[in-house]
Chains A and B, each alone.
Chain A
Amino acid sequence: MDVSMLQRTYSDLLTSLFREGILNQQFTELQQLQDENNPGFVFEVVSLFFEDSGRLINELISNFNQQAVDYKKIDAYVHQLKGSSASIGAEKIRSVCQTFREYYDKNDIQGCYNCIQPLNQEFVTFKSKLEALFTLEQQIVAAGGSIPMMRH
């Protein structure tokens, strides 16, 4: 695939991520922080997110499967996940975390529980799509091209 085709594929994928609400404006803010002094900044931050959030979600699922569920601990995990997803523009993940916290504030345990599977699913989707985006970035750079910026 030539560079211009790769760039078009990249732009189309990025546009779809915003259109589907998987990413929000905060992701663009991160892209704008990436420069020659920090060439891998977005990849680094999102990779940190994959690692931290994957661990948090596993802890959440594990906690919910125990006989005595520690809801305070679960709320702390979700709070952390909400914060980090908001920081990188992972809108759908942030939104599910927000819904979870609303249920938690109302002591609606079933509502909280019902958020876990969607949260995991949104994370899996997010990870898969962002990994595809980064793969395209690598291919564009390897082919001598530059990464198209999303304009709002």
Chain B
Amino acid sequence: MASSQVVKVLIVDDDNITRRIYRTMLFRFCFEITEVEDGNNAIQQFLDGNEYDLVLMDKHMPNMDGVEATRTLRGMGIPVKIVAITDDANSKDTFLGAGADKFLLKPLTFPMLTDILKSFNFLN
């Protein structure tokens, strides 16, 4: 886990409505939340020395898509939990092959998110 006790989540999605919804869901758990709009900015977060426990990663984004961002993070040796969340059902194998830990189809619901957080032991 990241060095503080609070779970730190990075939301990576180019749609501000999706980010707003994820933020509201995660707020219920009092997690620390950061949002970026594309894979490039996600990578930059880690290059800037930020630590996260969980990344919610969209696929189709400008500048760098979620698969490439996932692959890049793993190539950098970043062990963060990455959950791919996309409406592209055909990208599951690609995402998992790039190093994502889980793959979910959009739209994300609160029960889906809760199950994922439990599976990673982020809920006490």
Q: When chains A and B are docked, how far (Å) is the Cα of A29 from the Cα of B21?
A: 10
Whether A87 contacts B16 by the Cβ 8 Å rule is: no
> Which A residues form the contact surface with B (CB < 8 A)?
26, 29-30, 32-33, 37-38, 41, 44-45, 48-49, 52, 79-80, 82-84, 86-89
Q: Which residues of A contact B107 (CB under 8 A)?
A: 26, 29, 86-87, 89
CA distance A80 to B14 in the complex (A): 9
Which size bracket describes the interface of B in this complex? Answer: 10 to 19
Contact of B18 among A33, A44, A87 (CB under 8 A): A87
Main secondary structure of the interface of B (DSSP, over half): helix
For chain B, residues 13 to 37, give those with C-beta under 8 angstroms from any C-beta of chain A. 14-18, 20-21, 24-25, 27
Give B contacts to A, CB under 8 Å: 14-18, 20-21, 24-25, 27, 60, 87, 106-107, 109-110
Interface of A is mostly: helix
A-B contact pairs, 5 of them (CB 8 A): A29-B107, A38-B27, A49-B17, A83-B87, A87-B18
